[in-house]
Amino acid sequence: MSLPNLKSLARDLSHVALLFDASGTRLLGLGCNRSLEIGGNLKGLNILKALEAFSSRGTWTMGWMGYDLKNSFIDLETEVSNGLGLPDLAWWEPEVVIRWSDNDKPEVIQGDEKSELAIFGLSAISEDCELEKVGVDEMVWAWEKEEYVKNYNAVKDLIQAGDVYELNLCQTLSSNAPESASWTLFANLYNQTKAPFSCYVQCGSARVMSGSPERFLQRKGNKLISQPIKGTTGRGATPEEDARLIDALRNSEKERAENIMIADLVRNDLSRVAKRGTVEVVDLCGIHTFETVHQMITEVNCEIEESTGLSEILKATFPMGSMTGAPKISAMKNIDALEAKGRGVYSGSVGYISPGGDFDFNVLIRSLFHNAQTQKIEASVGGAITSLSNAEDEYNECRLKADALIKTVEKGE
């Protein structure tokens, strides 16, 4: 999938959204007619209902939902704030939306196709995006290995005590990057990962640059589709080594157990809104290959009543089980207690809602989060811990997942 050259538009516009999906379709949203931004103390706010109302006016809307939106509809609190300063919800109606794929020419599907903004957008799509080196400061891990192992052992104690049987433990990396670096960082990250649910989303000084391989949830008419990822291994240097790594991942008892646990959690979440008897598991523990890793992915889908609204669906499914653990509520409580920083937008979701109410949301992993005003930049990585896990492997998996992010920020490759 080719990358448009949005450097000048990202510099000149407050709102830019470039979204990819696994089918090869791309959406480009430029400018902002109206927006919904919420952050801070979310307790008691009916944010999901507000988002549903905002996105029900028959237009394309785009943006992100941060992980801590959970605090607005679940009896949970995050004791340690994220501190980066990005809004927990940033959603808007672009002035212009352009859609295209490798097989279809760009088409303006919202706004005036003859407007200056549309013309600039169409021109950017036809231009080659040149990769540049960024040379940002070194990324600093929140935890050294000793501290990670200490928190890993705390999770194992929770599993032994029966509080959880799987928990996704994450840690943060941080650095500084100039305001002008956001688009270049995304372009370099995309070049590294070529991930199917990549996105660049800019809301003023708040920017999300993602190389996500994971779909959280898609609605197509009366069908919901979720594709949780659990199970990761690196790419081989040769086709033969790749084949061995794929075979080892496919047959790993530990990785399959993680994946099946989360697939079962997603089945349970979807059953809360599904028509009776329609929840279905497709391609259990399927292996998918990406630019830097192999991943184990299961698809879970269901049918819903046409009248089922966005708020009801998100209350049943958000945040995604692949980034929390099981049981879900207990896992989230312990995540908030164990992790060094609040997750903020990380392990939330970026996506769009169509004029007819269909939507597609990714999982915000393998992502960079930039506050261009303060010039602070963050990334987070993690992995699921179960009774079959060991600390050394989990620690190394975090390093593997962070590799493309670190190269993007420090070397600009």
Q: Which of 108-112, 286-290, 319-323, 362-366 has the lowest mean pLDDT?
A: 286-290
Question: Do the beta carbons of residue 345 and residue 88 sit within 8 Å?
Answer: yes
What average pLDDT does range 201-213 have in this prediction? Answer: 97
What is residue 248's predicted lDDT score, i.e. its pLDDT?
A: 92
The answer on pLDDT for 12 being more than 70 is yes
> In b/e form, how buried is each residue of 60-83, taking b as 16+ CB within 10 angstroms?
bbbbbbbbbbbbbbeeeebeeebe
- The pLDDT value given to residue 1: 58
Per the CB < 8 A criterion, the answer to whether 384 and 142 are in contact is no
Is the C-alpha dihedral spanning 85, 87, 93, 98 positive or negative? Answer: positive
Global pTM value = 0.94
Residue 300 scores a pLDDT above 80: yes
Question: Percentage of the chain with pLDDT > 70?
Answer: 99
Name the 3-class secondary structure at 19. strand
* Average pLDDT over every residue of 366-372: 97
Task: List residues bridging with 36 in a β-sheet.
Answer: 91
How far apart, in whole angstroms, are the C-alpha atoms of residue 269 and residue 309?
A: 15
Provide the residue ranges of all domains of the chain, joining segments of one domain with +. Answer: 7-410
Confidence label for 136 from pLDDT (cuts 50, 70 and 90): confident
| Residue 232, pLDDT score | 86
Give the model confidence (pLDDT) of 27-57 as tens digits.
999 999 999 999 988 888 999 999 999 999 9
Helix (H) or strand (E) holding 63: strand 61-65
What is the per-residue DSSP string for 168-195? EEEEEEEEE--GGGHHHHHHHHHHHH--
Is residue 82 a contact partner of residue 344, using CB atoms and an 8 Å limit?
yes
Instruction: Name the pairing type of β-strands 293-303 and 229-234.
Output: antiparallel
* Rounded distance between C-alpha atoms, residue 306 and residue 297, angstroms: 27
Which residues fall within 8 angstroms of residue 296, CB to CB, at 6 or more apart? 229, 230, 231, 232, 249, 250, 255, 256, 259, 285, 286, 287, 288
Average pLDDT, the chain: 93
- H or E stretch including 229? strand 229-234
User: In terms of Cα–Cα distance, which of 206, 211, 166, 165 is closest to 188?
Assistant: 211
pLDDT of residue 258: 87
Q: What is the pLDDT of residue 412?
A: 54
Res 230: pLDDT:
87
Query: What's the rounded mean pLDDT across residues 55-78?
Result: 94
Hunting for tokens 């393998």 — which residue is that?
Answer: 366
**Cβ–Cβ under 8 Å, residues 124 and 5:** yes
The answer, yes or no, to whether residue 411 has pLDDT greater than 70, is no
Angstrom distance (rounded) from CA 215 to CA 388 = 26
What's the mean pLDDT in 337-362? 96
| Domain covering 7-410, topology | Anthranilate synthase (3.60.120)
Q: Give the residues across from 376 on adjacent strands.
A: 176, 371
Distance CA 100, CA 165 (A): 43
Question: Does the pLDDT at position 356 exceed 90?
Answer: yes
DSSP 357: S
What does the alpha-carbon distance between residue 168 and residue 231 come to, in Å, rounded to a whole number?
Answer: 12
What lies within 8 Å, CB to CB, of 176 at 6+ separation is 136, 137, 375, 376, 377
Q: What angle do CA 284, 285, 291 make, to 5 degrees?
A: 130
The pLDDT tens digits of the residues spanning 222-251 come to 999 999 998 888 889 898 999 999 999 999
Task: Enter the tokens of residue 277.
Answer: 């008897």
pLDDT at position 132: 77
pLDDT digits (tens, 9 = 90+) for 254-280: 889 889 989 999 999 999 999 999 999
